[in-house]
Structure 1
Amino acid sequence: MTQPSHLHPDRLFPASEPCRSLARDLYPAVRDLPIVSPHGHTDPAWFAENGRFASPTALFLTPDHYVLRMLRSRGLSYDALGIPRKDGKPVEADGRAAWRLYAENYYLFAGTPSKTWVDHSLHAVFGITEELSGKTADTIYDAIDARLAAPDLLPRAILDRFDVEVIATTEFALDPLAHHQKMDSDGYIGRVRTTYRPDDVTDPSRPAIVENLHKFGALTGEDVTRWDGLINAHRKRRDYFRRFGAVATDHGVPTANTADLPLVEKQALLDKILSGRHDAADAELFRAQMLTEMALLSVEDGMVMQIHAGSRRNTDPLLFSERGPDLGADIPGPTDYVGGLKALLSRCGNEPNLRLIMFVLDETTYARELAPMAGYWPSLMIGPPWWFHDSPQGIRRYLDQVVETAGFYNLAGFNDDTRALLSIPARHDVWRREVCGFLGRWVGENRLSRSSAEEIAIHLSYQAAKDAYRLP
């Protein structure tokens, strides 16, 4: 049986023997470092309940939009893959049947990071070295299913197994944080932290924005029809999230635009949003103003601000209406960070307490905008390659374009930004190997000493994320 290519010890290291040897020498220093996962979308219920995963399908297929979008691109039905519908119509309920369909089409993932992550998980967690295919589907399904009830395969044990020192989930402003409350009552807090993502009350393109804002006011006891009441409501919710370990906020916005309007214009804009009379331009302006307001609140409370800009979300209206968001139909768009952040940086870019991490899907901005900005503004750092670019080639392009201008210490290290729990160690391993490959090439070109390269590799693989997110 063919073994997955990830089992080769030199995978992802440079092709030339001298540089490959240097990368291979650096890798042991980072291979077994603890994992710091300061931004992601794993389900907090997994860690609160610490129960058995329902099936191999629930572990590998259902939560992973990277996998789903590839299968859909080749005409496979989400119904047949068991993805729930909003209208309650039946979908495939047999996890094994959905798994077989996935396995029969696993060849589609050749060349994608998804295959690297899944192959790594099958081997590292379950000891499976066979290639997933239609022929091996049932054997691999049974091998995984037989192990899922084992104590070492429960969610908290998986964090132990891969030495995940800290992991952050992401919740919206209206979320009651019930799962984090349970972990707190269990004494299991600090390792799993929440992150404040206020898009549900800052993005007027959401159909329920008016209802959400009124709920926000009721939840916080603030009059959100007044601008100062709205901001104080955010202040209170941020404080509540920090009770459950939050060190950061996250903002998923189509653009990086910010604004700094006078109070009378902010109030007029809020009035229009609450009346439901806003248009797309009003929605963009409101998002832009709220990014500046969130930065000002970060100056107050020290929470690290993350801007994930440049995703054109839910581009398939049929999929969105049938099943909801985050199922693979999001597409990158161009992003202007220099012009976009001008208002925010003019207002508070020099504040020592502000820490803003920039993420982008538009790779053309790496060398042109993000690296020069992070190479000047003390408040700015560059987030790791995100989403479509969280891949071996994406990491190489990123390092090639940002390091010479921003240096290594204006980078926020790595975060995996995933919904698939078992892909976390795989993604961090890919990052660590690519960092070692990059540094090995620089040592080979006499651009770095061997000792400096090892120090930087350790920093980028572990300490950078802790420093960037101000983790204790």
Structure 2
Amino acid sequence: MRRRHHSAMASPLTLHDDRLFPADPGTREVARRIYATTRELPIISPHGHVPPRWIARNEHFGNPTKLLLTPDHYINRVLHANGVELSELGVGRGDEMTEADNRRAFRLLCEHWADFNGTAMRYWLVDQLVGIFGVDVRPSAATADTIYDTIAARIDEPDFRPRQLMDAFRIEFLATTDDPCDDLGLHAELAADGEFSARHRVVPTFRPDRYLEPARPDWNELVDALGAAAGVDVGTLDGYTQAMAERRRYFKAHGAVSSDHSHADLVTLILDHDEAARLYDRARRGRATADEALALRRHLFTDQARLACEDGLTMTVHPAVVRNHDAGAFARYGADVGGDIPAKLEATRGLQQLLNAYGNDPNLNLVLFTLDEDVYSRELAPLAAWYRSVYIGVPWWFVDAPESIMRFKQDVTEMAGFSRISGMVDDTRAFCSIPARHDMSRRLDAAHLAGLVTAHRLDEDEALDQARALVVDNPTRIFKLGR
């Protein structure tokens, strides 16, 4: 039994068994029965950002701040909005954070606890604090050190290492996100560990965004590196295409099941070969105009779908994010610290060239995500309800709050049904939030399905089967995990 620390002066922190279930007693009872069938199922996580090094080296997580706070830009953005400097949370400081610094950072989180009220971040944090670490007092300035000590003690236990937690969290499949030039040595180590790989699959994901953006100032250097990794001369478009195909094959040989893409828009373009080759040559010489670089990027992105039809990697796409919106934070801390903002997306016309060419290809699975909620019902659900290759990515990043997820479910299933939904994608680098996110998804699946049962739109046995499909069958099929 894990030790629990409780102060008579502190407000309790608890996890209610019926969290996220409907308030109506009859519907709630149905939701309980549905959830009971999926609660203990294994976790399939086909897209995330957990560093493979953590698992390959079975690294100690360090301390509560390093584990729960510094890498989680969901949490950091709320604190930043409420006056906390990212450097105070350890962002950009690496190993220079002292124990006193880490305690101070964690104290800031606890002092700002009320700022998380109503957010998805609070939900995940409570699930982790109570369910994983045994914390039973509400975070505050007065309880911060006690909670920090409780978590630190748990982190130091032998069973609190990444590989042991993979067992405890029942993570059966975990995909990381990796650069096309990565040698994937850490993944090879994990695959070679027979005892571990018999219980868990940890695979890379091919993320080529930077190599498809000719407008980047470092694009030529990136393309040269791609050619070197593939052993191919990339002086021409044909060489570049061959290098890209070689690296995709390399990733697939190391277990990859998908590629991942994020650009400023979802416009696709298939250029005549000679025109594409001309633009590629101009870009390589540093002479492409802004319009030419944009046209080439859209062509190169669309060509990833053609390659996917050949090698079978599922293609996940999440465009329309204004990244590094805060120029000052970007200058000080670099990319990917939380200063990213959703933007409006157009999909129907933008995807038309890609879908006309490959949208019904039996070897392409195209999973579409967006931060623009309106697009789910207006465009993505109708597209997925027609094109055989198109699937709808579950809400992610800004849209993965309980209320947003329920809106998503209601918006897309009435048009596309459940079979066109990818299954839960947690998209997280916060390792301990993985079970909380998947459990949240399963509870909301149960709540949604229970509503359909009590409205006499589904029989309960159908809802039970559907709940399992959303957790296991859909991601297994859409990400081709059985192959």
Give the TM-score of the pair, scaled to structure 2: 0.94
Give the SS at the match of 1:239.
helix
Following superposition, the deviation at residue 324 of structure 1 comes to 1.4
Secondary structure of the corresponding residue to residue 319 of structure 1: helix
Asked if 1 retains the 8 angstrom alpha-carbon contact of 2:312 and 2:364, the reply is yes
Partner of 1:12: 20
The amino acid that maps onto 2:359 is G
Match of 1:191 in 2: 201
Q: Partner residue of 2:266?
A: 256
Q: Secondary structure at the match of 1:364?
A: helix
Letter in 2 for 1:195: T
Q: Given that residues 295 and 344 in structure 1 are in contact (C-alpha distance below 8 angstroms), is that contact kept between their aligned partners in structure 2? A: yes
Write the distance in 2 (CA, Å) between the matches of 1:105 and 1:142. Answer: 19
| Equivalent residue number for residue 56 of structure 2 | 48
Q: Quote the residue 2:140 is aligned against.
A: 133
User: In the alignment, what sits opposite 1:3?
Assistant: 12
Taking the aligned partners of 1:3 and 1:68, their CA distance within structure 2 comes to 24
Question: Does the 8 Å contact 1:55/1:145 carry over to 2?
Answer: yes
Deviation string, structure 1 residues 216-260 (Cα, Å, up to 9, x no partner): 112212121211111110111111111221010000111111110
Deviation (angstroms), 1:303: 0.7
1:106 aligns with: 113
**1:135: Cα distance to partner?**
1.2
SS state of the match for residue 420, structure 2? coil
Paired residue for 2:282, among 256, 272, 285?
272
Amino acid at match of 2:160: L
Equivalent residue pairs, number: 469
Give the root-mean-square deviation of aligned CA atoms: 1.7
The CA distance in 1 between the partners of 2:41 and 2:287, in whole Å, is 52
2:282, 2:11 → 1: CA distance?
61
- Map 1:221-240 to 2 at 5 A: 221-240=231-250
1:315, 1:330 within 8 Å by CA — same for their partners in 2? yes
Question: For structure 1, which segment, 222-231 or 36-45, has the greater mean C-alpha deviation from structure 2 after superposition?
Answer: 222-231
Q: Which residue of 1 aligns with 2:3?
A: none
Task: Report the equivalent of 2:227.
Answer: 217
Match of 1:36 in 2: 44
Match of 1:457 among 467, 470, 483: 467
- Deviation track 1:391-428 (CA, whole Å, cap 9, x = no partner) reads 10111010010001100101111110001001000001
Distance in 2 (alpha carbons) for counterparts of 1:278 and 1:85: 38
Alpha-carbon contact 2:173-2:201 (below 8 Å) kept: yes
Match of 1:166 in 2: 173
Tell me the distance in 1 between the aligned counterparts of 2:121 and 2:56: 27
1:241 to 231, 248, 251: 251
Name the counterpart of 2:156: 149
Q: What is the alpha-carbon distance in structure 1 between the residues aligned to residue 93 and residue 298 of structure 2?
A: 33
Amino acid at match of 2:79: L
| Pairing 1:41-80 to 2, within 5 Å after superposition | 41-80=49-88
**Quick check: 187-196 or 375-384, which moved more?**
187-196
* Distance apart, 1:435 and its partner CA: 0.8
Q: Which moved more, 1:363-372 or 1:285-294?
A: 285-294
Q: Which residue of 1 aligns with 2:303?
A: 293
Shift in Å, 1:91: 6.8
1:27, 1:436 within 8 Å by CA — same for their partners in 2? yes
For 1:305, what is the secondary structure of its paired residue?
A: strand
* Distance in 1, Cα, partners of 2:372 & 2:58: 38
Which amino acid letter does the alignment assign opposite residue 243 of structure 2? Answer: A
Q: Deviations over 1:123-182 (max 9, x none)?
A: 121111211221111111111111212221100111100111100001011222232233
Change (3 A) 1:277 1:12: same
Matches within 5 A, 1:318-357: 318-357=328-367
- Give SS of 2:262's match: strand
Q: Which moved more, 1:251-260 or 1:175-184?
A: 175-184
Select 1:179's aligned residue among 163, 186, 190.
Answer: 186
- In structure 1, the residue matched to 2:7 is none
**What corresponds to 2:313 in structure 1?**
303
Read off the aligned partner of 1:132 and give its amino acid letter: P
Q: Would the alpha carbon gap of residues 58 and 423 (structure 1) be closer, same or farther in structure 2, given more than 3 Å must change?
A: same
Shift of residue 92 of structure 1? 6.9
Tell me the CA shift for residue 85 of structure 1: 5.6
In 2: Cα distance, 1:308 partner to 1:349 partner: 17
**Distance in 2 of aligned mates of 1:119 and 1:205:** 43
Q: Which whole-Å CA distance do the structure 2 matches of 1:136 and 1:204 have between them? A: 51
- 3-state SS of the aligned residue for 1:249? strand
CA contact (8 A) 1:168 1:193 kept: yes
Q: Which AA in structure 1 matches 2:347?
A: Y
How far 1:24 moved relative to its partner? 1.6
String of CA shifts for 1:53-72, please: whole Å, max 9, x gaps. 11111110011010111111
Equivalent position SS for 2:89:
coil
Aligned partners of 1:85 and 1:323 also within 8 Å: no
2:453 corresponds in structure 1 to 443
> Could you tell me how far apart the structure 2 residues matched to 1:260 and 1:247 are?
25
What residue is the counterpart of 1:372 in the other structure? 382
Give 1:429 shift.
0.8
Q: 1:181 to 1:375 in 2, by over 3 A?
A: same
Contact 1:173–1:199 (Cα < 8 Å) also in 2: no
> 1:203 offset after TM fit, Å?
2.0
Are residue 397 (structure 1) and residue 404 (structure 2) matched?
no
CA distance in 1, matches of 2:290, 2:71: 31
Match of 2:127 in 1: 120
Identical residues among aligned pairs (%): 42
Structure 2: state its 5+ residue gaps. 1-9
